């Protein structure tokens, strides 16, 4: 026992001596740091410890986690002792050096001390450092326009430096996205909360859009029976009748079909709204009506307003986006290329103005933003620059990172799966600044887990980004159903219920129907209005069951407290003065013309490279035909004495024209296959028609010249045309034929575009 006592005493004394040595060393380091800081130098605090006892490389900075180098538990204990000592004895403020780098002392959160960073004893030096910091943070407002951000590097946890966001490469963007979104659904919510926290701290109110529709009725004139079949005969008769209809002559009786019947409601911002209903209930028509994309052949009555503005008072195609249930994409492009092109065409919206106002208010309040949030906002707010960070972010939250470099594919090319293609259709719209979305059956082809992940990301965008989303899903899983705030139930073109999700079962219970415990609520809502399935949910067995029609449900809903509240909201018009200036878009220009042309030229050149086999095959085919023509019209057999001999030369020229003309027909199929994608993007106002047509034609001119040159080089001298330079234009019609094909294709595209837009 006495021996153990002396051993413990010696160990205790040894620890006290070690502590005194560490305190002495820390004091010398602090004095050296303070003396350097007093003369205005930027000092990186380098902790040189005893290599044998601590096991730390003396050339590494304190900012690198020492726990990563520790190998023994005693080392970790000494490291924690360091931390506690620093917290108690040292209060080192952040400094900004001449190289625009931050040197920050140990803190649990280094950016917290930057909220009041200028508390040094040397006030003059402090003011100068503060001005340097804010000038670096606000360099966006100079000629560079907000491109510099103070951020941190990956290994050095507290080493902040300036990052030029316009020079972020794919690797830098990927590492940044991996840091903020290691888990898409959970980390996305955390990141959006940080972004929203920055906006709220600056006292900025985000723009919101409230969509109202009152007394909407949609009817369609249609044929019945065999007359409605899409046959060639019926289409010919329809065309003839439409021509006579211009003169007021109606030869065929048509039936009016009610698609939507006098419906009203409100889609509120910051709330996820689910649209449910059996097939042919009018869900797609309602979404199209709210997005302002109904066909002009339909008879439409009623009013749709955004923040009190009717659809003809602004541009609903730019303010809102309708995400179709049909996937139309360019099959040769990859997922990332498709979303990147969409990002370029849609522009940045009001992000730049928001960031400028944030920088102004934060400087006035002395708030230093979170580096990750600041980098993300600046990288996604630079107009006219293709950074790609927004594209990478969208790919990650939609779970498309595993196929980002895979082509989308089409009927002739194998590409991504159907579910992934559906997510590309969704990402093509949310990659832009649009915050009002009408989504039609976006879960088709997705499993329940992926659907839940995607919908959860949208829920976070709605709640934290003040977005407005109406989403139509087909039998969502219970966990997906619980993510929505409001429910709209359609049946026979009428709204049976619209209101909070929490009260939907209460309403049907008041009508005498109960959802079984093990039954999914979404399935119950779609079956309770069906004539075949309604009886199984009848609750009161003492009373005889009678089928309850949609009209009867509507009467009961109007007496329900949710229906009464909805009518009271609709009775009060929306005050236009409360609408944010950036909530609605009144101009078609979403990106500079230079950016649109550059994006279109890049896309056309990319498609040429992806279809290089087609152009190579055409060139080889033309070369073979040129050799065939040379043997048929070989110059050794060609005479130049009579008019009949001249006719043979004319035949050679005509043959060359025909070969070059028909060789261009392969290009027509490629152009026609791209028209659906072009129509979709044109209707969404991605770009004007000429931005698509001009690059499409210009990029192919060198190919046409090259193919014409191949024909002329092989056939001109072998056939025996005049060798003089003045006669070299004898085969100029061959080149002209190719230019005529290009011109005809451009005119046809433009004409078809105008015809579709007028429908």
* pLDDT per position as a tens digit, 672-694: 888 899 999 988 889 888 898 88
Strands 436-440 and 468-472: parallel
pLDDT given for residue 369 in this prediction: 83
Is the confidence at residue 104, as pLDDT, over 80? no
pLDDT-above-90 percentage for the chain: 19
> For residues 281 and 490, is the Cβ–Cβ distance under 8 A?
yes
What pLDDT is recorded for position 232?
86
Give the residue from 438, 435, 393, 442 showing the smallest Cα distance to 420. 442
For residue 117, what pLDDT is reported?
30
3-state SS track over 290-320: HHCCCCCCCEEEEEEEECCEEHHHCCHHHHE
37, 45, 47, 69, 108 from 60: Cα distances, Å:
20, 10, 8, 10, 20
Average model confidence (pLDDT) across the chain: 75
Q: What was the pLDDT predicted at 107?
A: 32
* Measured distance CA(197)–CA(589) in Å, rounded: 31
pLDDT at 162: 65
pLDDT at 12: 63
Mean pLDDT of 62-78: 38
The continuous run of DSSP H or E covering 256 comes out as strand 255-267
pLDDT for the residue 143: 30
- What value does the mean pLDDT take over residues 412-436? 89
Give the C-alpha distances (Å, rounded to integers) separating 137 from 101, 160, 376: 12, 12, 14
Tokens of residue 574, six digits: 């929306």
Yes or no: say if 470 and 238 are a contact pair by the CB < 8 Å rule.
Answer: no
**How would you label 674-704 residue by residue, b for 16+ Cβ within 10 Å and e otherwise?**
bbebbebbbebbbbebebbbbbbbebbeebb
pLDDT, tens digit, 9 for 90 and up, residues 569-609: 999 999 888 888 888 988 887 788 888 999 999 999 999 99
Is 122 a residue whose pLDDT tops 60? no
Tokens representing 388 are 């790609």
Mean pLDDT, residues 164-181 = 81
299-306 sheet: strands from edge to edge: 255-267, 211-222, 299-306, 309-310
Contact 83, 106 (CB under 8 A): yes
Is residue 397 within 8 A of residue 184, CB to CB? The reply is: yes
pLDDT at 234 over 50: yes
CB 473 within 8 A of CB 458: no
At 514 the three-state DSSP class reads coil
Predicted local confidence at residue 145, as pLDDT = 36
Global confidence as pTM: 0.74
For residues 282-289, average pLDDT: 92
In this predicted model, which residue has the larger pLDDT, 331 or 128?
Answer: 331
Q: Which pLDDT tens digit goes with each residue over 202-218?
A: 888 889 999 999 999 99
Which run of H or E residues covers position 454?
helix 448-465
- Could you tell me which residues come within 8 angstroms of residue 528 by beta carbon, excluding any fewer than 6 positions away? 508, 513, 534, 537
Does the structure show a pLDDT above 90 at 279?
no
Task: Locate 643 and state its tokens.
Answer: 């008019």
pLDDT at 119 over 50: no
Backbone φ, ψ for residue 278 (5° rounding): -70, 165
Measured distance CA(514)–CA(518) in Å, rounded? 12
Per-residue confidence band for 563, with pLDDT thresholds at 50, 70 and 90: very high
* Cα gap 326→429, rounded to integer Å: 14
pLDDT at 6: 44
Does the pLDDT at position 646 exceed 80? no
**Cβ contact 712:652 at 8 Å:** no
**Tokens in use for 238?**
């329809």
Which of 75-89, 447-461, 642-656, 711-725 has the least mean pLDDT? 75-89
Per-residue pLDDT, averaged over 491-509, amounts to 91
Task: Please check the confidence at residue 547 and state whether its pLDDT lies above 90.
Answer: no
The whole-number pLDDT of residue 129 equals 53
Q: How many residues does the chain have?
A: 759
- The pLDDT score that the predictor gives to residue 96 is 29
With vertex at residue 540, the alpha carbon angle to CA 490 and CA 507, rounded to the nearest 5 degrees, is 35
Look at residue 432 in the predicted model and tell me its pLDDT.
Answer: 86
């Amino acid at each position: 026992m006495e021996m153990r006592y002396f051993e413990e005493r010696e160990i205790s004394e040894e620890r006290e001596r070690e502590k005194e040595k560490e305190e002495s060393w820390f004091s010398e380091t602090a004095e050296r740091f303070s003396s350097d800081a007093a003369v205005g130098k930027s000092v990186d605090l380098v902790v040189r410890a005893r290599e044998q006892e601590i096991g730390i490389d003396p050339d590494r900075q304190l900012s690198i986690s020492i726990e990563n180098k520790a190998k023994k538990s005693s080392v970790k204990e000494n490291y924690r002792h360091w931390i506690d000592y620093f917290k108690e004895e040292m209060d080192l403020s952040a400094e900004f050096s001449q190289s625009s780098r931050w040197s920050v002392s140990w803190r649990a959160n280094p950016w917290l001390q930057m909220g009041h960073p200028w508390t040094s004893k040397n006030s003059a030096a402090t003011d100068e450092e503060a001005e340097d910091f804010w000038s670096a943070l606000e360099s966006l407002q100079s000629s560079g326009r907000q491109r510099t951000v103070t951020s941190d590097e990956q290994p050095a946890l507290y080493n902040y430096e300036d990052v030029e966001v316009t020079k972020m490469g794919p690797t830098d963007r990927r590492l940044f996205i991996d840091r903020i979104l290691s888990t898409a659904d959970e980390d996305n919510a955390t990141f959006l909360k940080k972004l929203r926290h920055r906006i709220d701290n600056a006292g900025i109110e985000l723009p919101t859009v409230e969509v109202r529709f009152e007394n909407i009725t949609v009817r369609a004139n249609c044929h019945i029976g065999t007359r409605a079949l899409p046959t060639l005969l019926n289409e010919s008769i329809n065309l003839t009748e439409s021509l006579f209809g211009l003169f007021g002559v109606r030869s065929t009786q048509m039936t009016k079909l009610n698609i939507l019947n006098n419906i009203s409601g409100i889609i509120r911002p910051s709330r996820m709204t689910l649209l449910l209903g059996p097939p042919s209930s009018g869900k797609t028509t309602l979404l199209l009506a709210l997005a302002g994309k109904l066909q002009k052949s339909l008879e439409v009555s009623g009013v749709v307003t955004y923040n009190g503005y009717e659809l003809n008072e602004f541009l609903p195609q730019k303010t809102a986006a309708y995400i179709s249930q049909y996937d139309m994409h360019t099959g040769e492009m990859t997922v990332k290329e498709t979303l990147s092109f969409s990002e370029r065409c849609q522009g940045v919206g009001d992000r730049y103005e928001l960031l400028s106002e944030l920088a102004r208010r934060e400087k006035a309040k002395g708030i230093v933003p979170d580096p990750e949030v600041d980098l993300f906002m600046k990288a996604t707010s630079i107009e006219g620059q293709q950074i790609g960070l927004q594209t990478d972010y969208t790919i990650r939250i939609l779970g498309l990172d595993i196929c980002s470099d895979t082509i989308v594919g089409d009927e002739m090319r194998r590409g991504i799966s159907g579910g992934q293609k559906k997510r590309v259709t969704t990402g093509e719209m949310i990659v832009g600044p649009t915050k009002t979305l009408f989504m039609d059956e976006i879960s088709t082809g997705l499993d329940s887990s992926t659907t839940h992940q995607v919908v959860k990301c949208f829920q976070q965008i709605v709640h934290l980004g003040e977005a407005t989303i109406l989403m139509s899903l087909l039998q969502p899983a219970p966990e997906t159903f619980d993510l929505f705030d409001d429910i709209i139930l359609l049946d026979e073109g009428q709204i049976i219920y619209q209101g909070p999700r929490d009260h939907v079962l209460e309403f049907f219970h008041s009508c005498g129907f109960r959802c079984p415990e093990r039954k999914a609520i979404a399935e119950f809502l779609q079956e309770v209005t069906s004539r075949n399935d309604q009886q199984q949910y009848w609750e009161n067995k003492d009373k005889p069951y009678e089928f309850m029609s949609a009209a009867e449900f509507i009467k009961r809903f109007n007496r329900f407290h949710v229906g009464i509240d909805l009518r009271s909201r609709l009775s009060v018009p929306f005050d236009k003065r409360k609408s944010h200036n950036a909530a609605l878009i009144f101009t078609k220009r979403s990106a500079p013309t230079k950016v649109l042309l550059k994006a279109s030229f890049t896309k056309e050149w990319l498609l040429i490279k992806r279809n290089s086999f087609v152009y190579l095959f055409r060139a080889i085919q033309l070369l073979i035909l040129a050799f065939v023509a040379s043997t048929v019209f070989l110059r050794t057999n060609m005479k130049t004495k009579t008019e009949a001999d001249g006719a043979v030369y004319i035949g050679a020229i005509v043959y060359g024209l025909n070969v070059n003309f028909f060789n261009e027909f392969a290009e027509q199929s490629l152009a026609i296959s791209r028209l659906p994608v072009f129509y979709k993007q044109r209707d969404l106002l991605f770009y004007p028609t000429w931005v698509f047509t001009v690059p499409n034609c210009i990029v192919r001119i060198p190919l046409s010249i090259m193919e014409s040159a191949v024909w002329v080089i092989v056939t001109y001298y072998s056939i025996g045309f005049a060798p003089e330079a003045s006669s070299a234009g004898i085969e100029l019609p061959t080149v002209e034929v190719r230019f005529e094909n290009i011109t005809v294709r451009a005119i046809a595209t433009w004409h078809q575009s105008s015809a579709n837009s007028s429908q």
